[in-house]
């Protein structure tokens, strides 16, 4: 009974990993395990993800992002400006530290600020727009989210190819988010003062993490071999702050391994490959965006990457497809969880606001993406 309860708790805590494991397991009945399974796994992507997660955990621990946020918000300012700042912080930060880290950092911060100044009425629109902002801002760089990093490596893209596709979408997203933030940001002026000023906890460690983060970017751009980067990160953190190695999301890495096996096995099944290939041949953009609504954009990118060479349609589809349902981008569940844990949370109004913001964003960006990929 205890083991069953523990298993159920694990499934609830790691639903995507659980699903990916079942998918990999079922696919193994159709394509028996062999040495070919090793070839399915993209070690470069796993190593880069590991290094980025470890280094970003260090930057977060030093208080870098909260210090930035406090300095931007402290003082007497228009409510609209405070709201806009809270929305755009995850937009820009997600470009470097991923959408989930941006939301983990700035959604609780937004709840703290808005409750402190007595503007709980703005919580639902601000958190909903923060979620959209993190998912859209993260598409601007290869390191902004896991699917970008994976597809950037899988198709051996150049930075020029990547930016030419996604930079226009990012700029349009920025304009739309700024307009929404100003419109829904509230009226009047408020004074923001923090009872406790966040300070950088360890400048020496911060300098190390910034250097390591720079090395991560060099490795993403294929200047530094990923094997050398991985060794440098592990050795540096073992010497300086080994606890950070325990803060890496190993469940996400394992999820990738399971989906690598699942997608690799699907590629060995002629009927499945033909069916998915037919859908992708009609519109990789719409197919990947639709798949993201059901299985989320990271698994969709891994699953479909082996079935099409149209990297533009696939990349734009899974990034824009992060808007929509709460599971389209798993980062969206992070902000939803923080809001529902807040005082006097209203689940239905939040879900309606979240859905409306995502649907509007999806309807605006899909036609733009369609023009860019053709």
Burial of residue 306 (CB within 10 Å: 0-12, 13-18, 19+) is middle
Separation CA 123–CA 182 (nearest Å): 15
Separation CA 10–CA 16 (nearest Å): 11
Rounded (5°) CA angle 99-101-106: 95
Q: What is the pLDDT of residues 95-137, one digit of tens each?
A: 988 888 888 888 888 998 888 888 889 999 999 999 999 999 9
Separation CA 194–CA 109 (nearest Å): 11
Mean pLDDT of 5-10: 79
Q: Which residue has the tokens 């734009």?
A: 316
Distances (CA, A) of 171 to 52, 149, 367: 25, 20, 15
Separation CA 37–CA 33 (nearest Å): 7
Q: Is the pLDDT of residue 330 over 80?
A: no
pLDDT at 328: 87
The stretches of 241-283 forming alpha helices (DSSP H) are 250-266, 270-282
pLDDT band at 2 (very low <50, low <70, confident <90, very high): low
Mean pLDDT of the chain: 88
pLDDT band at 1 (very low <50, low <70, confident <90, very high): low
Q: Is the pLDDT of residue 155 over 90?
A: yes
Q: Lowest mean pLDDT: which of 13-27, 193-207, 264-278, 342-356?
A: 264-278
């Amino acid at each position: 009974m205890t083991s069953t309860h523990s298993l159920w708790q694990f499934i609830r805590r790691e639903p995507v990993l659980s699903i990916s494991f079942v998918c990999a397991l079922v696919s193994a009945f159709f394509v028996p395990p062999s040495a070919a399974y090793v070839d399915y796994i993209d070690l470069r992507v796993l190593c880069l993800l590991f290094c980025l997660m470890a280094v970003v955990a260090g930057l977060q621990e030093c208080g870098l992002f909260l210090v930035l946020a406090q300095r931007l918000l402290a003082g007497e300012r228009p409510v609209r400006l405070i709201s806009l700042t809270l929305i755009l912080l995850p937009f820009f930060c997600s470009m470097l530290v991923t959408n989930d880290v941006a939301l983990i950092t700035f959604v609780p911060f937004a709840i703290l600020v808005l409750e402190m100044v007595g503007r709980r009425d703005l919580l639902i629109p601000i958190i909903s727009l923060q979620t959209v902002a993190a998912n859209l801002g993260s598409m601007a760089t290869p390191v902004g989210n896991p699917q970008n990093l994976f597809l950037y490596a899988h198709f051996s893209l150049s930075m020029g190819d990547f930016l030419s596709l996604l930079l226009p979408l990012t700029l349009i997203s920025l304009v739309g988010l700024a307009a929404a933030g100003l419109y829904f940001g509230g009226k009047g002026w408020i004074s923001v003062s923090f009872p406790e000023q966040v300070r950088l906890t360890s400048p020496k460690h911060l300098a190390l993490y910034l250097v390591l983060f720079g090395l991560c970017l060099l490795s993403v751009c294929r200047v530094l071999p990923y094997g050398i980067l991985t060794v440098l990160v592990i050795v540096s953190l073992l010497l300086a702050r080994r606890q950070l190695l325990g803060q890496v999301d190993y469940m996400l890495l394992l999820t990738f391994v399971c989906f690598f096996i699942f997608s690799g096995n699907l590629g060995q099944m002629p009927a499945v490959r033909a069916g998915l290939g037919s859908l992708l041949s009609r519109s990789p953009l719409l197919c990947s965006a639709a798949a993201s609504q059901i299985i989320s954009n990271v698994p969709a990118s891994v699953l479909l990457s082996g079935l099409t060479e149209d990297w533009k349609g696939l990349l734009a589809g899974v990034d824009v497809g992060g808007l929509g349902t709460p599971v389209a981008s798993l980062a969206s569940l992070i902000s939803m969880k923080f809001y529902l844990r807040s005082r006097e949370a209203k689940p239905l109004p939040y879900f309606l606001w979240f859905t409306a913001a995502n649907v509007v964003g999806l309807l605006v960006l899909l036609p733009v993406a369609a023009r860019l990929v053709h």
